[in-house]
Amino acid sequence: MAEILKNRQLQIIVMMLSFLFVFLPYFLNVPQLNTASTKLITITSIVTAFTIALAVIAQFRRGMNIINRRSRGWYFKAYMLLTLVLMVGFSLISRETGPYHWVMFAVVNPLSSVNYGILAFYMASTAARAFRARNTKALMLLISGFIVLIYQAPLTGAYFGGFEPIALYLGSTFAMAAGRMFLISVTVGAIVFGVRVILGNEPSVLGISKEEK
Helix (H, G, I), strand (E, B), or coil: what is residue 185? helix
* Residue choice 29, 54, 211, 213 for contact with another protein (CB under 8 A): 54
* Residue choice 9, 121, 210, 213 for contact with another protein (CB under 8 A): 121
Q: How far is the CB of 70 from another protein (least distance, A)?
A: 11
| 152 forms part of the interface with another protein (CB under 8 A) | yes
| 166 forms part of the interface with another protein (CB under 8 A) | no
Whether 161 and 150 have beta carbons less than 8 Å apart is answered as no
State the Cα angle at 45 between 108 and 213, rounded to 5°.
105
* Residue choice 159, 210, 211, 213 for contact with another protein (CB under 8 A): 159
Q: How far is the CB of 163 from another protein (least distance, A)?
A: 10
Q: How far is the CB of 174 from another protein (least distance, A)?
A: 4
* Residue choice 176, 199, 201, 204 for contact with another protein (CB under 8 A): 176
Query: Residue 32 or 121: which CB sits closer to another protein?
Result: 121
| 40 forms part of the interface with another protein (CB under 8 A) | yes
Q: How far is the CB of 29 from another protein (least distance, A)?
A: 12
Distance of CA 32 to the CA centre of its chain: 34
Q: Cβ-count burial of 167 within 10 angstroms (0-12 exposed, 13-18 middle, 19+ buried)?
A: buried
Tell me, residue by residue from 81 to 120, as one string, x for binding to another protein by CB under 8 A and - for no binding: xxxxxxxx--x---xx----xxxxxxxxxxxxxxxxxxxx
| 190 forms part of the interface with another protein (CB under 8 A) | yes
Q: How far is the CB of 201 from another protein (least distance, A)?
A: 13
* Residue choice 30, 93, 162, 174 for contact with another protein (CB under 8 A): 174
Q: What distances in angstroms separate CA 14 from CA 3, 7, 32, 86, 203, one per listed residue?
A: 15, 11, 21, 40, 14
Nearest Cα residue to 201 out of 189, 212, 188, 213: 213
Taking the C-alpha atoms of residue 106 and residue 91, their distance in angstroms, rounded to an integer, is: 15
CA dihedral 178, 183, 185, 188 (to 10 degrees): -160
| 155 forms part of the interface with another protein (CB under 8 A) | yes
Q: What distances in angstroms separate CA 182 from CA 55, 111, 186, 194, one per listed residue?
A: 30, 32, 6, 18
The residues near 41 (Cβ < 8 Å, ≥ 6 apart) are: 22
Q: How far is the CB of 63 from another protein (least distance, A)?
A: 9
* Residue choice 30, 93, 149, 199 for contact with another protein (CB under 8 A): 149
